[in-house]
Amino acid sequence: MASANTAWSEENFSSSICLDSFSIPVTTPCGHNFCRTCITKFWDGEVQYKCPLCNKIFNTRPDLQVNFLLSDLAAQFRTTAQVKAEDEEEYDVKTVELGKIVSEDQQMIQEIKGKIKEIKDTVEMNKKDADRELADGVQVLTALRRCIEKCQDDHNQMVKERRKSTVKQAEGLIKELEQEIEDLANRSSEMKQLLHTKDHLHFLQAFRSLKSPPPTRDWTTVEVRPPSYVGTSRRSLDQLEETLNMEMKKLPDGELKMVQEYEGCDPDTAHPRLIRSEDGKQLHDGEVVKKLPDNPKRFYFEVHLKDKAAWCLGVAKESINRKSQITETPEKGLWILYFNKDGLVFRDHPVVRLPRRDELQKVGVFVDYDEGLVSFYDVEARVHIYSATGCSFTKPLYPFLGPGRYNYEGNNSDPLIISPVNQTD
């Protein structure tokens, strides 16, 4: 079916009698179109039957036929006109709505670009970390390989020397035994010859000299005792461990001045509500605020989080303010990872929101004093969480941590617990 051309004017689909869109259009013999009702009423009031447009007179009243093509086109035109009119009503509203969508899309594009940059920066930072780790690994593993090779050489040399000594001893004894065999064989040969002599005088004289056997060694107590190799490898490994420890001490430790022996720490804490265990390895929220004297050694570093609903941990400069509320940002001398029901963030201006890690059980904090780097790691998953770069360290750093409120989210009573670092990892 042909569709109405929306470029046509309204008069193309209007009756010249009622001036409205065609309603059941019919065609006169002269070729003009009118609404069937309109032309019927027009002729009912006239004496002659003529065309309202060209005034052509018909001798008899024409038998009018419906123009179905024009009827369809007129119907489509009416529909198009109605839709167009309803659109003169929604245009302004849709224009404003469309502008808002465009603005939101642009904002989303900028956010996505920012996320792409963040990901690229993370990848670049990870690449630098990986390159540095590879270089350090080559250095450490090369030294380790040399130590192992030397240990292996020493071990092999010791075993070979013991084996050589045993072989030499056995060969000496065998040579001595073979000599005695030779002496006994010679004596036996002489005695056999003597048995066949008919000279009795010679027999008796020779018998006296052959009767006494040649001097021999008491071999019943002589034996070859190979050295025991049991424990040789163990002693070599112990020596290797001692050598590796000496090599490890030669590696640069950096200048991170954190507490290593918690048993001797000051029992005071940085917040008057916190309670630390006697061994210095657990930290609770005591709910009750206590009055504590000023103490510059109140910061402790924890890594084991258990199933806590809220916590924070990181490192702090020695010079931070301890007498009033602390702004937990690098600008104020604190590098803090913070977690609660809203997610995981790094405290900065603005805060850095990180992917949520509900499975996070243990956090490792690594500080490269010279490089100005503070990195956080998911110890169990062996995944890098976040790194703060370009930090400026001029004074000692100390661990900073907070166990969160005791009743946060209904129950947050579990302590933060110090976990010994596994050197083999």
Plot region of 31 (φ>0 → left; ψ -120 to 50 → alpha; else → beta): left
Whether 282 is covered by a domain: the verdict is yes
- Identify whether residues 412 and 267 lie together within a single domain: yes
- Report the alpha-carbon distance of residue 331 to residue 120 in Å, rounded: 25
Nearest to 374 by CA among 256, 269, 291: 256
CATH number at residue 53: 3.30.40.10
Closest CA to 416 of 329, 337, 332: 337
Same domain for 404 and 276, yes or no, is yes
Q: Which of 7-16, 285-294, 346-355, 381-390 has the lowest mean pLDDT?
A: 285-294
Closest residue by Cα to residue 341 from 409, 288, 265, 290: 409
Q: Do residues 59 and 122 both lie within one domain?
A: no
pLDDT of residue 282: 61
In this structure, is residue 285 part of a structural domain? Answer: yes
Amino acid 295: pLDDT: 43
Q: What percent of the chain has pLDDT over 70?
A: 75
Same domain? 143 vs 219? yes
Residue 291 is predicted with a pLDDT of: 47
Domain contains 246: yes
Tens digits of per-residue pLDDT, 47-99? 788 898 888 888 888 888 888 888 878 778 777 777 676 667 777 888 888 88
- 257: confidence class by pLDDT, cuts 50, 70, 90: very low
Residue 9: pLDDT band with limits 50, 70, 90: low
List CB contacts of 388: < 8 A, sequence separation 6 or more. 330, 335, 346, 348, 373, 374, 375
Find residue 316's DSSP bridge partners.
334, 398
SS3 content of the chain, % helix, strand, coil (to 5): 45, 15, 40
Stretch 337-346: mean pLDDT, rounded? 90
> Is 76 domain-assigned?
no
d(CA 303, CA 61) in angstroms, rounded, equals: 105
Looking at the fold, whether 314 and 403 belong to one and the same domain comes out as yes
Does residue 229 share a domain with residue 122? yes
| Residue 389 included in any domain | yes
Structural domain contains residue 198: yes
Query: Do 213 and 355 fall into the same domain?
Result: no
233 plus 268 within the same structural domain:
no
Query: Which backbone phi and psi does 367 adopt, to 5 degrees?
Result: -125, 125
Q: Are 270 and 354 found together in one domain?
A: yes
- Tell me, yes or no, whether 37 lies in a domain: yes
User: Residue 335 sits in which domain range?
Assistant: 262-417
Are 182 and 224 in the same domain?
yes
What domain count does the chain have? 3
Last-in-domain residue among 189, 223, 251 = 251
* 169 shares a domain with 207: yes
- Report pLDDT digits (tens) over 145-154: 887 888 788 8
Integer CA distances (angstroms), 216 to 89, 170, 209, 223, 362, in order: 133, 18, 16, 16, 77
Produce one character per residue of 174-195: b if its CB has 16 or more CB atoms within 10 Å, e if not.
eeeeeeeeeeeeeeeeeeeebe
What interhelical angle do 68-195 and 232-250 show, nearest 10? Answer: 130
Q: Which pLDDT score is estimated for 390?
A: 87
Question: pLDDT, tens digit, for every residue of 274-304?
Answer: 566 655 556 555 544 444 444 443 347 567 8
Mean pLDDT of 332-346: 90
Q: What is the per-residue pLDDT for 95?
A: 85
Q: How far apart are CA 250 and CA 32, in angstroms?
A: 110
Both 180 and 232 in a single domain?
A: yes
Q: Which of 49, 66, 83 is the last residue of a domain?
A: 66
Q: Decide if pLDDT at 234 tops 80.
A: no
Indicate the pLDDT class of residue 370, thresholds 50, 70 and 90: confident
Task: Write down the mean pLDDT value for the chain.
Answer: 77
